[in-house]
């Protein structure tokens, strides 16, 4: 299971970086999302995978004795997913606004703010 997940995480990072290096803004956002998913899975993987052992204390005991699934990575991932979702929603609105205002989805066209002589866009 670890091996599969490792390959998946690597694949997601690779695909994310590849998409970010394309010229289209939409692909850039997809790349960012993939990168986020990759890091979420990485946290799960690093927290040691345990199957079928919830971190719940049985009613007749006072503490956990056997090996159990660490709940912390899951809590971290949950937080990270929520944040990632919010940010993704924002970026989608941002690229829509950018496309409507600048009429391009080509990142190479976005060089106005980097030129030495300001063109007075404002």
Q: Which residues bind another protein (CB under 8 A)?
A: 16, 20, 25, 28, 32, 35-36, 38-40, 42-43, 45-48, 72-73, 76, 79-80, 83, 86-87, 90-91, 94-95, 97-98, 101-102, 107, 110, 112-114, 116-118, 120-122
Instruction: In whole angstroms, give the CA distance from residue 122 to residue 109.
Output: 17
Query: Considering the complex, what minimum distance in angstroms separates the CB of residue 122 from another protein?
Result: 6
Q: Considering only the C-alpha atoms of the chain, give the largest distance between any 2 of them, rounded to a whole number of Å.
A: 74
Closest distance between another protein and the C-beta of residue 32, in Å?
Answer: 5
Q: How far is the CB of 46 from another protein (least distance, A)?
A: 3
CA distance 75 to 110: 38
Say how far apart CA 28 and CA 37 lie, in whole Å: 14
């Amino acid at each position: 299971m670890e091996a599969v997940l490792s390959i998946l995480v690597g694949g997601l990072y690779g695909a994310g970086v590849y998409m970010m290096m394309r010229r289209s803004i939409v692909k850039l956002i997809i790349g960012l999302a993939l990168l986020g998913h990759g890091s979420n899975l990485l946290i799960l993987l690093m927290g040691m995978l345990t199957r079928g052992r919830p971190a719940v204390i049985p009613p007749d005991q006072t503490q956990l004795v056997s090996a159990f699934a660490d709940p912390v990575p899951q809590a971290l991932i949950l937080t990270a997913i929520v944040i990632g979702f919010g940010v993704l929603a924002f970026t989608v609105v941002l690229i829509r606004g950018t496309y409507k205002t600048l009429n391009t989805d080509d990142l190479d066209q976005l060089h106005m703010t980097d030129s030495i002589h300001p063109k007075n866009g404002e």
